[in-house]
Amino acid sequence: MSTSRTDSYTAADPRRWLALGVIAVAQLIVVLDASIVNIALPSAQHSLHISDANRQWVVTAYALAFGGLLLLGGRIADFIGRKRAFVIGLVGFGLASAIGGIAQNQGELFGARGLQGAFAALMAPAALSLITVTFTEPRERARAFGVYGGISGGGAALGLILGGVLTEYASWRWTLLVNTPIAIVTAIAGALVVRESRAEGAAHYDIPGVITSSLGLVALVYGFTKANESGWSATSTVVLLIAAVVLLTAFVLIERNTAEPLLPTRVFTERNRAGAFLVSLLIGLALFGMFLFLVYYMQGTLHYSALKSGLAFLPFSAGIVVAAGVASGLLPRIGPRPVMVGGTVAAALGMALFTQIKVDSSFAMVVLPAEIAMSLGMGFAFVALSSTALIGVADRDAGVASALVNTTQQVGGSLGTALLNTIAATATVHYISNHGASSASAATVHGYTVAFTWGLGALILAAVLSLVLITRQRPAATSQSDADETIFEHAEELGAIL
């Protein structure tokens, strides 16, 4: 076996810590982008005259592309070279950010966000694989993932503040444009200091699976959007939803019958993994929708500036970091089920508090307690489900099982954002029709609370599934190093959703 094409290095890379710095900066860009864009969304909507029905595409275009292409991105990185994929992903992400920053209409912005997600789907698995193959000594690898997770988690909070500052004192456009020079410089540094690695054997890509799954999810999200605009019984809505069912059914059939599936169905046959994926999907659905409406509630109803709303989200970031750290220590001792059940119940309690917001609610009395409860619950739940995804998994499926936690979260988030946005808009219209145009502010908040109620239902279902499907067993010892890496990966990504 040629040493240029192996995943195992006989000697430590002398530039491995420099490489870690480059990889951490790349992840920081992705984290910053997520935080910044959420805070800047109301300003971007106003600037580009985006309708309430279509505003969710700023979030869902990225999440669909990232979640839908993540598994393919990992396979591409394995075969073309992780360093090459990492650099290409960085350059593409920077260029897509520039396109979004200069967008003149909503279509250009949505397209740019989709491109960002596609290139992030190439860059993210390559970055994590590079850490794994660069740091082969267990203690150094644990330290490397700790640095990676810590920088990325802190980046979520930094993005909230930076997004508020740029939006308030410059323009929402700079929340995207700021990525471009950093991404290009980081790509150049990566080309110089990161060592290449790739998998052996011939490359196999499940293109039919990618096409049917991606188009099916897009049709589903677009169907939810059309339901908001034209109604659930409209021909366009019905056609899109039927197309989504047909395409996603075709995807399942393709995966069951192809030799090299994008998503092996055997991964879902073990109850713990199946439970983890379902809980991840439901958490994404509730969490993404909550952020969308809470940003608009703060800036539109409470009249917070972009900077103040960013600062108001900081307790959520802090709660995620604290809970993830505590949960990582508890998990080996008590197993995943109590951690996941407790986390989803706490998150549901936080969401229940969000359903009580009013036009004149106090941040300190309602929003802050809800943020704290939900963030602590999310931190516990996500650490547990990330580790559980690797319990008993075969070596050949470890990468897929790990990536699926993020994939299900992003897909659930994109579907949830679209569906809850439609539900909220419909509830607002009905409220105004019953109470008159003078009730617009109350109607808007009513729409938010209805959406939060549906999110609460998703979290209650997640708690029930955690109790029923997750066993009492502790993470398998043979998989614990992989589980630790997955904890670092997904705990910081959860913080980055802000």
pLDDT tens readout for residues 199-252: 666 667 788 988 998 899 899 988 988 888 888 889 999 999 999 999 999 999
Taking only the tens place, the pLDDT of each residue in 243-290 is 999 999 999 999 888 888 888 888 888 888 889 899 999 999 999 889
Taking only the tens place, the pLDDT of each residue in 372-423 is 999 999 989 988 887 787 666 666 666 677 678 778 888 898 899 999 999 9
Strands of 151-265 (E only): list them. Answer: none
Return the percentage of the chain with pLDDT > 70, whole number.
87
Q: Which residues of 376-399 are buried (b: 16+ CB within 10 A; e: fewer)?
A: bbbbbbbbbbbbbbbbebeeeebb
The mean pLDDT value for 127-136 works out to: 81
Helix axes 16-48, 271-296, angle to 10 degrees: 50
How high is the pLDDT of residue 9?
Answer: 43
The mean pLDDT value for 450-462 works out to: 97
Residue 357 pLDDT > 90, yes or no?
Answer: yes
Residue 5 pLDDT > 60, yes or no?
Answer: no
Under the phi-then-psi rule, with left for phi > 0, alpha for psi from -120 to 50, and beta for the rest, what region is 392? left
Residue 152 pLDDT > 50, yes or no?
Answer: yes
> Which has more pLDDT, 447 or 21?
447
Residue 306 pLDDT > 80, yes or no?
Answer: yes
CA gap 35, 37 in Å, rounded: 6
How high is the pLDDT of residue 404?
Answer: 82
CA gap 243, 334 in Å, rounded: 45
CA gap 228, 74 in Å, rounded: 35
CA gap 50, 39 in Å, rounded: 16
Name residue, tokens 């109590």: 338
How high is the pLDDT of residue 225?
Answer: 86
CA 244 to chain centre: 22
Residue 448 pLDDT > 70, yes or no?
Answer: yes
The mean pLDDT value for 33-55 works out to: 89
CA gap 129, 78 in Å, rounded: 8
CA gap 289, 444 in Å, rounded: 15
Average pLDDT of the residues of the chain: 85
CA 276 to chain centre: 15
Please give the C-alpha separations between residue 441 and each of 53, 301, 327, in angstroms, as whole numbers.
Answer: 17, 7, 40
> CB–CB of 225/57 below 8 Å?
yes
Under the phi-then-psi rule, with left for phi > 0, alpha for psi from -120 to 50, and beta for the rest, what region is 9? beta
pLDDT band at 160 (very low <50, low <70, confident <90, very high): confident
Q: What SS3 string covers 385-437? A: HHHHCCCCCCHHHHHHHHHHHHHHHHHHHHHHHHHHHHHHHHHHHHHHHHHCH
Locate 250 and state its tokens. 């075709």
Q: How many CB atoms lie within 10 A of CB 358?
A: 12
